[in-house]
């Protein structure tokens, strides 16, 4: 799968009260082809149910699903995983999930971390947060210059994350982000139709590059 475009990440608060599946389906209708299930709770039974339902939707729309943090759940479902520095070994994930799996690595604001992630078999390097984020306020700050350096030095798709809006995305894409990962600016919508429109609008930003 081509790692380019809008990368949607779920949020358990924004997508509470029955919104998870209709809002994610709207994002898929709007063109999202990469989805991360991010749920920081330890309700394993609900996490399994939700991830299974998301996988069905992704399969229907030809999209790829990644699980945040939880390699075991990713392996159980046969999908990808996104790992931060404290979430376990990338090479162990690659060994378990196999050569085709999408494995994402958080590299915060560090090129050396991205180089190491690449050596361990990551499919993309994620940098950020780039802007203030409601979703993860404490994340370390990255700059457009870092993204440009990463583009020059690393042969790996780059993800930008953190406070990204439709207005802010074009400069990040121009600096080398092949994916922009978004929670709030996609899923804070009033209804599913608005999610679909927002996803489409983000997708169009990639057509011009
Ligand atoms: C695409 C993407 N980039 C970065 C993160 C953040 O991962 P991490 O630092 O492990 O923080 P949590 O998301 O686990 O709170 C991400 N999830 N996705
Ligand atoms: C998971 C994560 N890691 C760095 S910022 C962030 C949250 C991104 O969410 P938003 O798009 O709402 O800022
Ligand atoms: Mg994590």
Confidence of residue 58 (pLDDT cuts 50, 70, 90): very high
CA pair distance 195, 55, nearest whole angstrom: 19
Q: Is 87 annotated as ligand-binding?
A: yes
CA distances for 28 relative to 85, 132, 133, 169, angstroms: 29, 26, 23, 19
Give CA 125 to chain center in angstroms: 11
- Cα separation, 168 vs 112, in Å, equals 26
Mean pLDDT, all residues of the chain: 97
3-class secondary-structure state, position 25: helix
Ligand 1 nearest atom to the CA of residue 69, by list position: 14
State residue 166's pLDDT score. 98
Residue 208 is predicted with a pLDDT of 65
Rounding to the nearest 10 degrees, give the CA dihedral for residues 140, 9, 103, 91. Answer: 50
Interval between CA 132 and ligand 2 midpoint (Å): 9
Is 69 known to sit in a ligand binding site? yes
**Does residue 133 have its Cβ closer than 6 Å to ligand 2?**
yes
Q: What is the pLDDT of residue 1?
A: 81
Q: What is the pLDDT of residues 199-209, one digit of tens each?
A: 999 999 998 66
Put simply, whether the predicted model's pTM sits higher than 0.80 gets the answer: yes
163 lines ligand 2 (CB under 6 A): yes
Is residue 105 pLDDT above 70, yes or no? yes
Domain boundaries, the chain: 5-207
Q: What percent of the chain has pLDDT over 70?
A: 99
Ligand in nearest proximity to the CA of 137 = 2
Task: Name the residue of 80, 107, 131, 136 to mutate for ligand 1: max ligand atoms within 8 A of Cβ.
Answer: 136
7 annotated to a ligand binding site: no
Whether 52 has a binding-site annotation, put simply, is no
Q: Ligand 2 centre and the CA of 95: distance in Å?
A: 28
Question: In this prediction, does ipTM exceed 0.90?
Answer: yes
In this predicted structure, what is the pLDDT of residue 2?
87
- Fold for 5-207, please state it: TIM Barrel (3.20.20)
Distance of CA 17 from the midpoint of ligand 3 (Å): 24
């Amino acid at each position: 799968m081509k790692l380019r475009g809008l990368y949607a990440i779920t949020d358990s608060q924004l997508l509470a009260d029955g919104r998870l599946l209709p809002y994610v389906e709207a994002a898929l209708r709007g063109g999202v082809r990469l989805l991360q299930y991010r749920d920081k709770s330890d309700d394993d039974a609900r996490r399994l149910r939700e991830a299974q339902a998301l996988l069905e939707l992704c399969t229907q729309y030809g999209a790829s699903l990644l699980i945040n943090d939880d390699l075991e759940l990713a392996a159980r479902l046969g999908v990808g995983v996104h790992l931060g520095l404290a979430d376990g070994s990338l090479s162990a994930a690659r060994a378990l999930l196999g050569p085709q799996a999408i494995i994402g690595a958080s590299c915060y604001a560090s090129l050396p971390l991205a180089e190491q992630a690449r050596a361990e078999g990551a499919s993309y390097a994620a940098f950020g947060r780039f802007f203030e984020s409601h979703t993860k306020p404490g994340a370390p700050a990255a700059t457009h210059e870092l993204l440009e350096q990463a583009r020059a030095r690393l042969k790996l798709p780059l993800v930008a994350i953190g406070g990204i809006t439709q207005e802010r995305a074009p400069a990040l894409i121009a600096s080398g982000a092949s994916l922009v990962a978004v929670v709030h600016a996609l899923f804070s919508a009033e209804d599913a139709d608005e999610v679909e429109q927002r996803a489409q609008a983000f997708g169009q930003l990639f057509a011009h590059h």
